Amino acid sequence: MDVFDELLRGVRGKGAVFGRSVLWPPWSLRFTDGAYLTLCLPLRGAGWIVPEGGEPLRLALGEAVIVRGPASFTFTDDPAQAQAQAHGTDVGAGVREVRWGEDMAPSPGQGPDLEGPTVLLAAAYDVQEQVPQRLLRALPPVLLVPDEGDCSPLRDYLAAQICGARPGHQIVLDRLLDWLLVCTLRDWFDRPEAEPPGWYGALGDAVAGPALRAMHEDPAHPWTTAELAARAGVSRTTLAKRFTELVGDGPVAYLTEWRMTLAADLLTRPELTVAAVARRVGYADAFGFSAAFKRLRGESPSAYRQGPASVGPVRAAPAG
């Protein structure tokens, strides 16, 4: 199993694609709804991403930016104006506040197509599940992936889908944007400035990699360090040392944390009892599972599934 695939399986667009974000200067779009992730992709022209409390970042045609919420940010043609707005010192001209789920009105002078100096495609991702958050917590507040290939055919196709009215066009857009998000994240983690979690780099290691993949393929199996070491073809001591060096935890500790991450998502399913969740993540009884869950998550499984934070993306979880 590809662990990267598994971790991003729950990341889906929420249907908020601004197909009519055709911008004429002066313009400024302020995103204020606090989405967990926002993907921004210029289809024409360029602008500046100005995160709340951060430095402006130039976003050019062919590049992609992912902004991690919940802080607001602005896409603008004038970063100085956007910073003034953030401090409440200037209302500014051409400012529109973005509310996800509400269609944008066309800018003055906009035609029926995406004709204009700047066209922005954006999508929001709420990411309520704990499994993808394991990867996404490693992201910086704003990341940019430069244009390292010819993306013009894809941009043209996206533009055509936005302007079209064929049945299911929103689903097509959502899936295209999901694909763009995953590719952007994958490209980011391969860049030298990225700081991926230890387990991400360990996936390609000859010793730690086989053990990691085995645990992700069958987390309910009663893995021992000896059995995992046999998968890698090394001794228990060699596996434990190498795994800890790369990941930061030993194999058993990592497995326990991964099981609790899976359990946190399973606990949001009301049809599953705590005992059923326990069995799915490798515990023979609910008591041992509850003790492990409370030790790592700070609350019992029953309290977790009843808590208000269990329905949103901001639930506290261990880093890594």
What is the spatial distance between Cα 267 and Cα 224, in angstroms, rounded to a whole number? 26
Question: Tens digits of per-residue pLDDT, 38-60?
Answer: 888 888 888 999 988 888 999 99
What is the spatial distance between Cα 153 and Cα 30, in angstroms, rounded to a whole number? 29
Instruction: Summarize the confidence of residues 130-141 as an average pLDDT.
Output: 81
Instruction: Summarize the confidence of residues 98-124 as an average pLDDT.
Output: 56
* CA distance readout (Å), 96 to 27, 42, 135, 184, 263: 8, 17, 32, 27, 41
Split at pLDDT 50, 70, 90, the class of 228 is very high
Rg (CA), the chain: 22
Instruction: Summarize the confidence of residues 79-103 as an average pLDDT.
Output: 53
Instruction: Say what percent of the chain tops pLDDT 90.
Output: 34
DSSP secondary structure string for all residues of the chain: --HHHHHHTT----S---TT-EE-SS-EEEE-S--SEEEEEEEES-EEEEETTS--EEE-TT-EEEEESSS-EEEES-HHHHHHHHTTS---SSEEEE-TTSPPPPPTT--SSS-SSEEEEEEEE----HHHHHHHTTS-SEEEE---S--HHHHHHHHHHHH---TTHHHHHHHHHHHHHHHHHHHHHTSTT----HHHHHTT-TTHHHHHHHHHH-TTS---HHHHHHHHTS-HHHHHHHHHHHHSS-HHHHHHHHHHHHHHHHTT-TTS-HHHHHHHTT-SSHHHHHHHHHHHHSS-HHHHHHSGGGGSTT------
Instruction: Summarize the confidence of residues 2-11 as an average pLDDT.
Output: 67
What does the CA dihedral 172, 178, 179, 181 come to, rounded to 10 degrees? 140
Residue ranges per structural domain of the chain: 3-189, 199-311
Q: Residue 73's CB: how many other CB atoms inside 10 A? A: 27
199-311: CATH superfamily: Homeodomain-like (1.10.10.60)
User: For the domain bounded by 3-189, which CATH number is listed?
Assistant: 2.60.120.280
Give the per-residue pLDDT at 117: 76
Does the structure show a pLDDT above 90 at 194?
Answer: no
